[in-house]
Structure 1
Amino acid sequence: MPPLEIQVKIDPACREPKVLVCTHAMTDEVQAILQALAQAPPQLLPGFREGTLELLEPQDLLRVYAAGGKVFAVTPAGEFQLRLRLYEAEARLDKTVFVRISHSEIINLRKAKAFDLRLSGTISVRLADGSVSYVSRRYVARIKQLLGV
């Protein structure tokens, strides 16, 4: 497949950005491009710690998990409680970067440093902060597909 050609035209008369996709046919690649363009930018997540609200940037998140009926987000700055359900937090995050690894956990693939496939039927994931999470059996096939293994 040839590399994607990208052109930008600066027009002072243009008041709103416009994207034009020229192609010979509607392919999976074109569909993926259109879907990526249509997605809203990642939203900030409100995180609470010690009575203080902090706006969390999605790219800073290591993982988001549910425990004890609450949802938490882990960043290099620490752990924050979210006043969202896990599926609501998942809906706000970029699907190409954040992946669910179990019923109660989502990880940032860009913060994953290593995947240990030696365990029978599961995968352990070492994150940038050194913490380890485990992919549940239900999600192993999806993770392997994303990793291309």
Structure 2
Amino acid sequence: MKVQLFVSKDLEEPYAEIYTDNLTDNIQKAMVLLENDESDDDVDEGNSILAVKKGSDIVLLDFEDIFMIKVEDKQTKVFSQNAEYSIKKPLYQIEESLDSDFVRISKSTIVNLRKIKRVAPSLRGMMFIELKNGLKDNISRKYLTDFKKALDL
């Protein structure tokens, strides 16, 4: 991608223009980063959005709207209250960008702690989790300690 930077002292406010024939994930990230560029050093604000796809549309989801992120059939899916989205990033990369409200509960699933409805014992030492939107999954033994620590249990 070709990038040009022009510095001018005559501008009241900085602005950016992007010309492209294809809206890629990297361009979308750049747009989010540029739009959230604030001088008050509020680092968390710019990192509280996840760019996902619904069909051919790109949707920017606030972290607070995300219930679960799960890999199913080699595709990473993001679940909100009433919708399902897709994202091309692997789960570990998404996990790195999330805040402390999110915890991994299995090799293939991350949940938003604020969206948990209930947790109950399940089979073979695992725990069962139900989210407020009705989604259900198991917390594997491997991740149970981290899950309890995230809940201060």
Distance verdict in 2 for CA 1:118–1:83, change over 3 Å: closer
Give matches, 1:118-137, under 5 Å.
119-137=123-141
95, 98, 102: which one pairs with 1:93? Answer: 98
Give matches, 1:37-116, under 5 Å.
40-41=44-45, 42-94=47-99, 96-116=100-120
- Counterpart residue number, 1:4: none
User: Could you tell me which amino acid in structure 1 is paired with residue 85 of structure 2?
Assistant: F
Aligned residue pairs total: 114
Cα displacement string for residues 69-97 of structure 1 (whole angstroms, at most 9, x for unaligned residues):
21110001400001211111111110x20
- Counterpart residue number, 1:141: 145
User: Could you tell me which amino acid in structure 2 is paired with residue 130 of structure 1?
Assistant: G
User: Could you tell me which amino acid in structure 2 is paired with residue 145 of structure 1?
Assistant: K
Q: Percent identity?
A: 27
- What value does the CA root-mean-square deviation take over the aligned residues? 2.0
User: Could you tell me which amino acid in structure 2 is paired with residue 115 of structure 1?
Assistant: V
Cα displacement string for residues 76-122 of structure 1 (whole angstroms, at most 9, x for unaligned residues):
1400001211111111110x200000011000000001110364411
What's the secondary structure of 2:48's corresponding residue?
coil
Distance verdict in 2 for CA 1:57–1:124, change over 3 Å: same
TM-score (norm 2): 0.66
TM-score (norm 1): 0.68
Structure 2: unaligned runs, 5 residues or longer: 1-38
Distance verdict in 2 for CA 1:44–1:17, change over 3 Å: closer
Return the alpha-carbon distance in structure 2 between the equivalents of residues 134 and 126 of structure 1: 9
Deviation, 1:146, is 2.8
Return the alpha-carbon distance in structure 2 between the equivalents of residues 17 and 71 of structure 1: 34
Give matches, 1:23-38, under 5 Å.
none
Deviation, 1:17, is 5.3
Structure 1: unaligned runs, 5 residues or longer: 1-15, 19-36
- Counterpart residue number, 2:8: none
